[in-house]
Amino acid sequence: MTAGKDGLAAVIVTLMLIPQSLAYAMLAGLPPITGLYASIAPLLLYAVFGSSRTLAVGPVAVISLMTAAALEPMFPSGSAAYIGAAMLLAALSGVVLLLMAVLRLGFLANFLSHPVISGFISASGLLIALSQFKYILGVSAEGQTVLQLIPSLAQQLPFINVPTLLIGGLCLVFLQLARTRLKGLLLALGLSPGWADSLTKTGPVLTIIVSVLIVTWGDLASSGVHVVGAIPEGLPALRLPTMDWQLAMQLLPAALLISLVGFVESVSVAQTLAAKRRERIDPDQELVGLGAANIAAAVSGGFPVTGGFSRSIVNFDAGARTPMAGILTALGIALTALFFTPLFHNLPHAVLAATIIVAVLSLVDFGSLKRTWRFSKQDFIAQAATMFGVLFMGVEIGIVMGVSLSLLLFLWRTSRPHSAVVGQLPGSEHFRNIERFNVIQSDTVLSLRVDESLYFPNARYLEERIIELMVDYPDCQHLVLMCSGVNLIDASALDSLEAIAERLTAAQVQLHLSEVKGPVMDQLRRSDFLNEFGGQVFVSQYAAMQALDPASIMRAAQS
């Protein structure tokens, strides 16, 4: 039963993966066959090492775009040097992912915040669609950014190839309708939802078959319609990528970004699907699975791969239950590479481009910019910067800008934690923020609550805050630091506390602590601070006030 479901899922995913892998190879600037190669060995290795049962690995749009962005400035698209470099990029990406697994650096992916990823994917989608338009028009245009692509396309408008445009345009319309309307139509025609769904998924394959037939029948290749042409039959030979240390160093930054983006995309999909069946994925094991898949791509003529979103959902919905579905899919693609590549000879580039455009435009979501703006201005800045960077300065610069900005904003926020001067709530033993509550404050004892662990990003902030308070409260004789929100004190914060105690002593003020948590107390006992700071550690803020200013307690009780 399980095997049967896995088999059905494999057939559907194979039919979906064939056009996708040919198209994404083209997007990456590589010969179409490399797309098939990248969909065989990587799937097998992921099935062995990955932790998700339903993730479908292979070429994906954004990673292919990043591959092209890294390689196109270096080599002519599709040349032997370009293919070797693409394999090297996959190898580097595999090594990076495996290293991240060994060093347990998977957490680094957390620092690609969601607004940055969403902005990156939307802008990349737009950029990819634009870059594929030349195939629909049947012209040649170059460029890595919107600013280069649009003028380049505009210049070429006089040279549009009409048969190409007709085929490409019709495919675009059909694929878009298939995606949005076909299922409803089939349901209306009385098909069962399962069949309607499966038929809809085969839209791209249908398009390919029909277009190949039309081009062959009309001999459109001689009318200037660019076709895929002869594809070598057979399985990829196992061979090493270009081994060039200097080139590897040049490609390393791109490989790092590709690894991170690929990992984040893949883990999100895998987690979503695993949770639906209350299954568990292990992010560190995912790093191993994706690393192995990329190494496999590198030694079998492929290029960087990761878990694909739409493909994995199809796999899941078609009932894939075990990694066997992935192995069967690899088998399907291998059979295609062995026997069916001649069928793709007359497949027009325009049809592959239409497949890509429809797929990526569905990823573009400018509404998210508006939602982010409403929810958080800081996140909006990071998201808008990423989009701007990707569209106008290039994919890599865009994502680096977004990540740097969100990290910078994060560091800024974390370096100024919330703290509040507190006073006693009349008729209770509670101490609350003097700015929000009507509380009783002592004249000689100042109570400061810090709502954050004390560590180096905010250590200096506390020093500054306390200096300011000393200026604002010239009559203060005791300062009680209320540590109810402090889960950790690191060495920098300990130094700061010592400096604060010393400065306060010089200004005739004594520092005390209150409500210090157990683990923090254990930690402080391993230093000399408790013996040297001269103050006391009180169980509660109330106890501190009882000891240091009983008169204020009386006032709070009376009022």
Residues at the site binding its own copies, with contacts judged by CB under 8 A:
107-111, 113-115, 267, 271-272, 274-281, 283, 371-372, 374-376, 378-379, 383, 406, 410-416, 418, 451, 455-461, 463-464, 467-468, 470-471, 474, 485, 487-488, 490-492, 494-496, 499, 503-504, 506-507, 523, 526-528
Cα 331 from Cα 325, distance rounded (Å): 10
- Of 117 and 141, nearer to its own copies (C-beta) is 117
Give the nearest distance from C-beta 467 to its own copies in angstroms.
5
Strand ranges for 293-371 from DSSP E: 306-307
- Of 244 and 495, nearer to its own copies (C-beta) is 495
Give the nearest distance from C-beta 448 to its own copies in angstroms.
15
- Of 198 and 458, nearer to its own copies (C-beta) is 458
Cα 544 from Cα 514, distance rounded (Å): 7
Cα 54 from Cα 47, distance rounded (Å): 9
Q: Is the C-alpha dihedral spanning 439, 440, 444, 447 positive or negative?
A: negative
- Of 40 and 320, nearer to its own copies (C-beta) is 320
Give the nearest distance from C-beta 30 to its own copies in angstroms.
32
Element spanning 419, H or E: strand 419-424
- Of 46 and 380, nearer to its own copies (C-beta) is 380
Cα 297 from Cα 67, distance rounded (Å): 13
DSSP code of residue 426: T
Give the nearest distance from C-beta 436 to its own copies in angstroms.
9
Cα 10 from Cα 228, distance rounded (Å): 25
- Of 246 and 526, nearer to its own copies (C-beta) is 526
At residue 482, φ and ψ (nearest 5 deg) are -90, 115
Closest CA to 123 of 376, 398, 420, 451: 398
Give the nearest distance from C-beta 556 to its own copies in angstroms.
24
Query: Would residue 536 be called left, alpha or beta, if left means φ above 0 and alpha means ψ between -120 and 50 degrees?
Result: beta
Whether 346 and 227 have beta carbons less than 8 Å apart is answered as: yes
Degrees, nearest 5: CA angle 328-46-319:
45
Whether 481 and 494 have beta carbons less than 8 Å apart is answered as: no
- Of 487 and 559, nearer to its own copies (C-beta) is 487
Number of alpha carbons in the 13 Å side-chain half-sphere of residue 425: 8
- Of 20 and 419, nearer to its own copies (C-beta) is 419
Cα 539 from Cα 13, distance rounded (Å): 63
DSSP code of residue 341: G
- Of 244 and 490, nearer to its own copies (C-beta) is 490
Closest CA to 77 of 134, 159, 122, 125: 134
- Of 259 and 300, nearer to its own copies (C-beta) is 259
Give the nearest distance from C-beta 179 to its own copies in angstroms.
22
Whether 352 and 207 have beta carbons less than 8 Å apart is answered as: no
Give the nearest distance from C-beta 71 to its own copies in angstroms.
26
Give the nearest distance from C-beta 526 to its own copies in angstroms.
5
Q: At what angle do helices 245-276 and 114-137 cross, to 10 degrees?
A: 110
Give the nearest distance from C-beta 167 to its own copies in angstroms.
39
Give the nearest distance from C-beta 104 to its own copies in angstroms.
8
- For the chain, the first-to-last Cα distance in angstroms comes to 76
